[in-house]
């Protein structure tokens, strides 16, 4: 896939730049210990500033400090210095394309970016970052409503919350919190696989709830977010008012079996490419990516919102997705490959809504079985929609979720507190 190719190029540019920097440092020491030290600490300064301001500003500062001396030994190092600058330009271009001029996972973004975002936003909307284990997570709280808050839990793992934006309309009734999990979207990009665990993401979600001061919340999870939502409830049942599990991935082996059947509905050419590429584990091939896109266009999204799809793919953490899931929706060999929560659904005691698209890769029949195993739950099939129901049929999806949350709130309001009178 394209993302891996860009990551490989980025790594190559860093390696070449470091080699060039070491050569120039050696030449600088031959002329002057002072200038040698300047070039020796330059990579450390670049690394530090890169974490604060991003590589673009860091590079300008470092190159500006070096250029005076480089002019004096241009005959010896000029060509190598040009190579190093070209590498920096390439690194900067890739970084700007994927993360913006000042990446949102830098210290400067966390100090100033959130404040900039607040300007022009309605009084009931707040965007900021929350420190968690491993970095910072971005979240947006919106809605003037005063009902029980709802937290939207996106899918992936490694994707972002852009596609859940239509559900922010729930804010007329209650505060709505949309956030990007660590490693995804606008949150800190991480590659530390020790953080890629269900336990970590459950703790991260609880940190967000606690920081917001919410005693109890509705959870609306989608896809991988249903795993996270269910696991959060099982760990903290007293903190969850209800569960909405959209296109649930609660039995990954069953998901895998069904999506392999869906692969058989693709064009013959795509089926052949998938067989050939997966046999040699060549998941980066352009024709494999094209076959994946054909699958996505039939069973993941039918009518994507182009701007949000573009933002989703630009902020996609493929390393996280590959580690926990796999190279595609239908090829699963990550750490979640054997996840199956069906036997624990009988332990769910809060009101639960299952939603699934009519043409969803999650399979309406599977979701109905989940509903039968969950006491008192409700199942809604969203017509004319695939997996991303908030894109394919946002009006129906919003209405179904809104009515469910309102019914839960009204039932809770009519139920006397334990030990209370009528």
Q: Is 387 a catalytic residue?
A: yes
Q: Is 223 a catalytic residue?
A: yes
- The length of the chain in residues reads 422
Q: DSSP secondary-structure letter at 38?
A: H
Sheet (strand 352-357) strand order: 126-132, 135-142, 176-179, 150-153, 217-222, 240-246, 352-357, 378-382
Distances (CA, A) of 91 to 47, 83, 303: 13, 12, 34
**Helix (H) or strand (E) segment spanning residue 397:** helix 394-414
Instruction: Count Cβ atoms below 10 Å from residue 229 Cβ, excluding itself.
Output: 28
- Neighbouring residues of 216: CB distance < 8 A, sequence distance ≥ 6: 148, 238, 239, 240, 241
Could you say which of 319, 360, 377, 392 is catalytic? 360
Instruction: Count Cβ atoms below 10 Å from residue 314 Cβ, excluding itself.
Output: 15
CA angle 358, 169, 227 (to 5 degrees): 55
Could you say which of 200, 218, 258, 387 is catalytic? 387
How far apart (Å, rounded) are the C-alpha atoms in residues 358 and 85? 52
Could you say which of 223, 247, 270, 319 is catalytic? 223
Report whether 175 contacts 150 (CB < 8 A). Answer: yes
Q: Is 360 a catalytic residue?
A: yes
Nearest to 244 by CA among 227, 219, 225: 219
How far apart (Å, rounded) are the C-alpha atoms in residues 250 and 373? 12
The tokens of 34 are what? 């002072």
Q: Provide the annotated active-site residues.
A: 223, 360, 387
């Amino acid at each position: 896939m394209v993302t891996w190719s860009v990551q490989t190029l980025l790594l190559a540019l860093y390696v070449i730049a470091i080699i060039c920097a070491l050569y120039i440092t050696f030449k600088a020491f031959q002329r002057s210990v002072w200038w040698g030290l300047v070039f020796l600490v330059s990579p450390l300064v670049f690394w530090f500033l890169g974490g604060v301001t991003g590589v673009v500003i860091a590079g300008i500062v470092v190159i500006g400090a070096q250029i005076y001396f480089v002019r004096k030994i241009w005959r010896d190092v000029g060509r190598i210095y040009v190579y190093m600058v070209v590498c920096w330009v390439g690194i900067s271009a890739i970084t700007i394309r994927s993360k913006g001029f000042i990446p949102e996972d830098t210290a400067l973004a966390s100090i100033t970016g959130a404040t900039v975002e607040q300007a022009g936003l309605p009084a009931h909307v707040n965007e900021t970052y929350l420190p968690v284990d491993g970095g910072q997570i971005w979240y947006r709280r919106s809605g003037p409503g005063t009902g029980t808050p709802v937290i939207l839990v996106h899918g992936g793992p490694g994707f972002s919350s852009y596609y859940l934006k239509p559900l922010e309309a729930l804010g007329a009734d209650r505060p709505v919190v949309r956030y990007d999990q660590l490693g995804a979207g606008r949150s800190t990009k991480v590659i530390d696989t020790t953080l890629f665990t269900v336990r970590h993401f459950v703790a991260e979600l609880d940190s967000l709830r606690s920081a917001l001061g919410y005693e109890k919340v509705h959870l609306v999870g989608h896809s991988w977010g249903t795993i996270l939502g269910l696991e959060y409830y099982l760990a903290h049942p007293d903190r969850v008012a209800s569960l909405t599990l959209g296109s649930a991935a609660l039995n990954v082996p069953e998901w895998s079996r069904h999506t392999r059947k869906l692969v058989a509905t693709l064009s013959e050419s795509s089926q052949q490419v998938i067989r050939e590429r997966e046999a040699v584990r060549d998941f980066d091939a352009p024709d494999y990516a094209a076959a994946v896109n054909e699958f996505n266009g039939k069973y993941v999204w039918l009518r994507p919102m182009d701007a949000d799809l573009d933002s989703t793919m630009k902020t996609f953490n493929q390393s996280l997705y590959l580690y926990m899931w796999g190279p595609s929706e239908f090829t699963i060999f990550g750490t979640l490959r054997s996840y199956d929560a069906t036997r624990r659904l009988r332990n769910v005691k809060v009101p639960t809504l299952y939603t699934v698209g009519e043409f969803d890769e999650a399979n309406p029949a599977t979701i109905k079985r989940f509903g039968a195993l969950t006491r008192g739950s409700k199942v809604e099939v969203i017509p004319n929609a695939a997996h991303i129901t908030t894109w394919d049929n946002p009006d129906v999806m919003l209405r179904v979720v809104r009515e469910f949350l309102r019914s839960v709130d009204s039932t809770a309001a009519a139920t006397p507190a334990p030990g209370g009178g009528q």
